[in-house]
């Protein structure tokens, strides 16, 4: 799944080295961080989330090409945003600069670009502070 999602970007930037990619995936694999994405009783992808005291980092999200563009990824990310809001945590996600589809999706979901490298965008969804919410509701919220 990860190869299907990233092959074009990785091969265009660095060239694809199958042994390296397998080793890197195995090194990063931690059952507690990974979840299988299931739709209609089919395993269609996976997501890796690293949660710290102040941040939820969506490290990986990959959906089978046949299921992309159906709102499944958006739904999953919206759920993570709601989880972050309830916990008062910032949500982060990154993507290859060349992956304009993912970048545009993240921006539409409310993520802002916080950093860029030569190859990647890092985006954050910041939870509004109480003061910000009060100013939008006209003061005391009631």
- Residue spans of the domains in the chain: they are 2-137
In this prediction, residue 127 carries a pLDDT of: 77
* Side-chain half-sphere exposure of 20, counting CA atoms within 13 A: 7
Strands of the 34-39 sheet, one edge to the other: 34-39, 42-51, 55-63, 90-96, 120-125, 112-116
In this prediction, residue 13 carries a pLDDT of: 57
On whether the CB atoms of residues 105 and 73 are closer than 8 A, the answer is: yes
Tell the CATH superfamily of the 2-137 domain. Gcn5-related N-acetyltransferase (GNAT) (3.40.630.30)
Q: For 137, left (φ over 0), alpha (ψ -120 to 50), or beta?
A: alpha
Q: State the helix-helix crossing angle for 18-28 and 2-13, rounded to 10 degrees.
A: 130
Query: What is the per-residue pLDDT across 105-141, written as a single tens digit (0 to 9) for each?
Result: 999 999 999 999 999 999 999 876 644 444 455 555 4
Residue ranges in the chain modelled with pLDDT below 50: 130-135, 141-142
């Amino acid at each position: 799944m990860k190869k299907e999602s990233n092959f074009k970007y990785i091969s265009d930037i660095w060239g694809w080295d199958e042994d390296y990619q397998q080793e890197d995936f195995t090194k990063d694999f931690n059952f507690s961080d990974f979840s299988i994405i299931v739709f209609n009783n089919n395993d269609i992808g996976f997501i890796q989330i690293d949660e710290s005291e102040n941040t939820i980092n969506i490290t990986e999200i990959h959906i089978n090409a046949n299921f992309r563009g159906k709102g499944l990824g958006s739904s999953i990310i919206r759920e993570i945003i709601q989880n972050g809001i309830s916990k008062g945590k910032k949500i982060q996600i990154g993507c290859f600069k060349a992956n304009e589809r993912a970048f545009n999706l993240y921006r539409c979901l409310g993520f802002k670009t916080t950093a860029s490298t030569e190859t990647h965008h890092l985006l954050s969804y910041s939870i509004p502070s109480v003061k910000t919410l009060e100013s939008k509701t006209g003061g005391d919220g009631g």
